[in-house]
Amino acid sequence: MLGSAVAAPLLSACGGGGTGGNAKELTFWNFYGPNPQADAQSKWFTDLVAAWNANNEVKVKLHYLPVSEYLAGTALQTAFSAGQGPDIFLLSPGDFLRYHNGGVLTDLTPHLKPDQIADFDGGVLDTRKVDDKVYGLPMEREPLAMFYSVEAFEQAKLSEGDIPKTWDQLLDVAAKLTGKDRFGLLFETIPGYYQNFTWYPFMWMAGGSAVPGNGGAGFDVPGVHAALKLWQDAITTKVAPRKPQGDGAGNGPANLGSGFVAMQQTGIWAVSQMEQSKKDFKYGVFPLPVPDGGTYTTDLGGWAFVANAKGANPEAAAKFIAWALGATDKEGVERGRQWNTVVKTNLPARRSVQEAATSAGAFDKPVLKVFLDQVVPGGRGEPRYTPEVYKAVSDALQAVQLGGANPAQAAADAAAKIDTFLKGYKGAAML
């Protein structure tokens, strides 16, 4: 854990409401709704805002951005730099420190009762807290796993007994599944916070860490070299594509469901994607394979609602977030159950929501039982690093995966950048 009180400015200007600063109408940037597909997730967002607006003087207005633009684009950063950041927005742990250290995030703690904070499952708030103050409320927990096509396995004369448990087995099985019109395996190749998020478990399982002492031995270590090489080998042996289909490797229907790949690393959200777009497609799920001598883990991601401290009305924005994701009344719990297990497939971030979902039979589906029983145990929350640390890791991954760089050299170069940055870092703790 690193850091203390002050950080170098990461956003040149932070402020003012995405519509110019209207204290009676708060803008809420997100990648769910209202979207052009008008799907169930979009409706959940529009219904949420409608319920709030019907009972509150300060209104909330949704502003939709496509997921690719929100995850890999610069619209949010550009808006804040121009002093036009939204009042409410979605934020992952991976980019938390950019906004916290930039003075953007509102402390939500005054608007949360102790029982509301306690309702969040063990550790889920850790990467959203600084000095015991809560700066974001998570909507969900999203573990990563491997999805595979049952038909592709059968065509290759493979069975459940051939499901890979090690990295070597993963590449070997991927080779057997690769054919003229199908790749055996898919890792994300598009640079961004999502790609880093999906690679971190491999770094951890091999004993590495982006920040020395932060749960691992550091970045320029043999385990990190091996994790980088695994992703490189998948490309160079041509068992994995250089570019995913659709909007990226988090999209199950566009990649696994289309037959483009036979195995795909993605998250629990893909269960609902497949249910909605490829309902008859037969697939299975298994935990991420482990390197020889390594210890299994996975990444538990998830987005949070956060409020702009320099926005038009930070107090109203914080109240909205506390109501939307923290309310413990019947409506609040049902709202969480609907999001996590009806319109989307996640693991709830709150105990009360988890209990309600379990009672409703939400996790009886076989693939979701695999997530609960095999994937989640041993998982770790998505880390929070500064943009400088994230970028050093991203550059190394891209150089190795698509640029043909030597993994050991790429790791050494990234470690040198990280070490230099850390010598002067004084921001909130990296976790």
- Residue 400's contacts (CB-CB under 8 Å, 6 or more residues apart) are 228, 229, 231, 232, 406, 407, 410
All structural domains of the chain, each given as residue ranges with its CATH number in brackets, are 25-141+302-368 (3.40.190.10), 143-300+385-422 (3.40.190.10)
What digits encode the pLDDT tens for the residues 355-377?
999 999 999 999 999 999 999 99
Residue 64 tokens read as 């939709």
Strands 299-301 and 380-381, how do they pair?
A: parallel
| Residue scoring higher pLDDT (270 or 9) | 270
pLDDT over 70 at 14, yes or no: no
Query: Are 218 and 412 contacting, i.e. CB atoms less than 8 angstroms apart?
Result: no
Query: Are 66 and 58 contacting, i.e. CB atoms less than 8 angstroms apart?
Result: no
Q: Encode 142-169: b = buried (16+ Cβ within 10 Å), e = exposed.
A: bbbbbbbbeebbeebebeeeebbeebee
Residue 174 tokens read as 């991927």
Handedness of CA 146, 147, 150, 156 (dihedral sign): negative
pLDDT of residue 394: 98
Per-residue pLDDT, averaged over 395-421, amounts to 98
Cα 93 from Cα 127, distance rounded (Å): 6
pLDDT over 90 at 102, yes or no: yes
What digits encode the pLDDT tens for the residues 128-142?
999 999 999 999 999
Per-residue pLDDT, averaged over 371-399, amounts to 96
Taking all residues of the chain, what is their mean pLDDT, rounded to a whole number? 93
pLDDT of residue 71: 83
Per-residue pLDDT, averaged over 233-249, amounts to 97
> CA–CA distance from 431 to each of 34, 65, 137, 213, 215 (Å)?
33, 28, 17, 10, 9
Cα 367 from Cα 370, distance rounded (Å): 5
pLDDT of residue 21: 56
Strands 283-286 and 304-307, how do they pair?
A: unpaired
pLDDT of residue 8: 35
pLDDT bracket for residue 213 (50, 70, 90): confident
State the DSSP code for 111: G
Per-residue pLDDT, averaged over 371-385, amounts to 94
State the DSSP code for 286: E
pLDDT bracket for residue 2 (50, 70, 90): very low
Per-residue pLDDT, averaged over 395-403, amounts to 98
